[in-house]
Structure 1
Amino acid sequence: MSERNRDGKRNAREALREQRAREQARRRRNRALIAAGVVAGVLGIAAVIGVVTVDHSTRGTGGSANPAAAPTGATGKDSLVIPVGAADAPSVLTIYEDFRCPACDAFEKQFTPTIHSLEDSGQIRTEYHLVTLIDGNLGGSGSLNAANAAACAQDAGKFRAYHDVLYANQPDEQDDKFGDKDTLLDLADKVPDLKTPAFTRCVEDGTHNDWVRKSNQAFGNSGFNATPTVLLNGKSIYGTSPALTPDSLKAMVTAANKGKQPGTATATPSS
């Protein structure tokens, strides 16, 4: 083989190696660009998800990032309790209720006079937790709107009276009548001096809606799953056997308060 032929073959092999090297480098660059694009896409998706999550959580609290506005005098963890009766009463009756709940209405019709008597004599302080279970199960906004209106009544110092009026006029469970704010304002006429411009504005604006939602969320995290849930000094007493009666409730409170002084706070007027 001539020297010229050997040089030609050598040059051809070197050119082929250089071409393969360039092709491998191009492929590496492409892979790097693709990988960078995937990372950027993932980060972009994550950013979108983050925005959606934040926006969803904001909507879930009434479209506001501000803290939930608790009604005047609310107590307990995160100010989610509306108290009725003497602050220094020796026993505490805890009630989780939904204003659309027919079982809550049955409870109130049976026990309201007894509860008021125990409150007024300083034997118990009742702590109300407002729940929107029926709105969640059946749709509508009656549970939320009624609870907000009750919180507005608490601002006016008339929670107990308005609470009783709502249960005395509770619509059928399937009828979301309390979703109509005009209905709630009309019922306020049954409580002397409640329907003021401030109360009306509070009801119409849903001032305490976020607070009600927060109260309902706390109920969901409590381990309880039905309304009414009724506790005496932390022990569940309703829906158990033997069935609770007004007389047995009074007997339980008397036993729990043995040797203790009644509370001294002034009684809350009823409707």
Structure 2
Amino acid sequence: MSNRNSQGSKQAARERIRAERERQKKKERLRRQLVVAGAVVGVLAVAGGIGFAVLKANEPTGWEAAKEARQIAPAHTQGKDHTEILIGDPKAKETMEVFEDVRCPACAAFEQSTGSALLKDIHDGRYKVRFTMYTFIDGMQGGEGSKNALSALGAALNVSPEAFLKYKSALYSAKYHPDEREDLYAKDSELLKVAADVPELKGNKAFETAVEKGTYDRWAMDMTALFGRKGVKGTPTFMHGDKKLVMDQIPQDPRMTEAQYSQLAKANFEKMIDKEFGPAKGKNSGGDSGKSGGKGIREGEKDPTGAH
């Protein structure tokens, strides 16, 4: 073999080796680039996942989320945020305000002993009643029964004012009203069980769906925000304009029967009402006491108290 051929072969071999090395280098650079790119994508994906998880964790839930939801107001309401529940004969000149909390034991005691007298005055057109429903016991005792029951009352009010009044009475009844420390009304099933005693609500699929879906949860939260309205922070409270009405105290007597207590409570309520609004003019004065409930507010009617 000549020296020229030998040198040519060596040169060719070196070129092949150099070309192979370049190919390997390019391959390695590409591999590293892919690894880095994959790592960046992975980091971004993890970061995005963490960010999404943090956002989800910080999103309000339950009743806090209800505050941000779009409000669906029940029928037969008016005023700012539709939080005015005004029931009675629109022609009645006077308006009494009643402040209650569904979990309140004192409210239940009033309803069980004297609720019928209040309803009679509404039916007779003696005055209209604006109901302001609070939920402060949920905060005091823990739980959400007041808010959940208020949302269900919104569903009942959407059916009719009569259904609202009857359902409220049933929720306060001795048959169903729980100890305030027991958050029983947080359960939709319990609220629907109570509703089965109200003819307008029994088997009413629209009402049941509204309770289960929390249709009026946002409305209930808007009602909750009224706490402290007119300085009222306890229930039950009765007001005429800016005047707080006060009933005589019932003497504490362990020998008093439930019937005697109810009789005294009703007499004290009627005395308070007579003093403020004057004696009743007759059993059916100003209205038809045979009706099952008061009329709802008329569209555009203003709250006679001028309050919000």
* TM value normalised by structure 2: 0.62
* CA RMSD between the two structures: 3.1
1:141/1:65 CA distance change after superposition, 3 Å: closer
2-side partners of 1:238 and 1:84: how far apart?
A: 22
Hey, what does 2:206 align to over in structure 1?
198
Q: CA contact under 8 A between 1:143 and 1:179: conserved in structure 2?
A: yes
Residue 174 (1) aligns with residue 178 (2): no
1:126/1:265 CA distance change after superposition, 3 Å: farther
Residue 209 (1) aligns with residue 210 (2): no
Amino acid of the structure 2 residue aligned with 1:94 = E
2-side partners of 1:181 and 1:76: how far apart?
A: 28
- Within 5 Å, give how 1:89-108 maps onto structure 2: 89-108=92-111
Hey, what does 2:254 align to over in structure 1?
none
Residue 255 (1) aligns with residue 278 (2): yes
SS at match of 2:223: helix
SS at match of 1:249: helix
SS at match of 1:198: helix
SS at match of 2:165: helix
Q: CA contact under 8 A between 1:86 and 1:119: conserved in structure 2?
A: yes
SS at match of 2:231: coil
**Unpaired segments ≥5 residues, structure 2:** 1-54, 251-264, 294-308
Amino acid of the structure 2 residue aligned with 1:246 = F
Hey, what does 1:9 align to over in structure 2?
none
Residue 88 (1) aligns with residue 91 (2): yes
1:85/1:130 CA distance change after superposition, 3 Å: same
Residue 150 (1) aligns with residue 150 (2): no
Question: Shift of residue 155 of structure 1?
Answer: 0.8
SS at match of 2:227: helix
1-side partners of 2:89 and 2:67: how far apart?
A: 36
Hey, what does 1:46 align to over in structure 2?
none
Amino acid of the structure 1 residue aligned with 2:198 = V
2-side partners of 1:208 and 1:268: how far apart?
A: 27
1-side partners of 2:145 and 2:278: how far apart?
A: 38
**Unpaired segments ≥5 residues, structure 1:** 1-50
Q: CA contact under 8 A between 1:75 and 1:82: conserved in structure 2?
A: yes
Q: CA contact under 8 A between 2:246 and 2:272: conserved in structure 1?
A: no
Hey, what does 2:292 align to over in structure 1?
269
How many corresponding residue pairs?
Answer: 215
Amino acid of the structure 1 residue aligned with 2:228 = G
2-side partners of 1:114 and 1:189: how far apart?
A: 24
Question: Shift of residue 208 of structure 1?
Answer: 1.1
Percent of matched pairs sharing the same residue: 30
Amino acid of the structure 1 residue aligned with 2:94 = S
1:252/1:267 CA distance change after superposition, 3 Å: farther
Amino acid of the structure 2 residue aligned with 1:191 = V
Question: Shift of residue 255 of structure 1?
Answer: 2.2
2-side partners of 1:264 and 1:215: how far apart?
A: 29
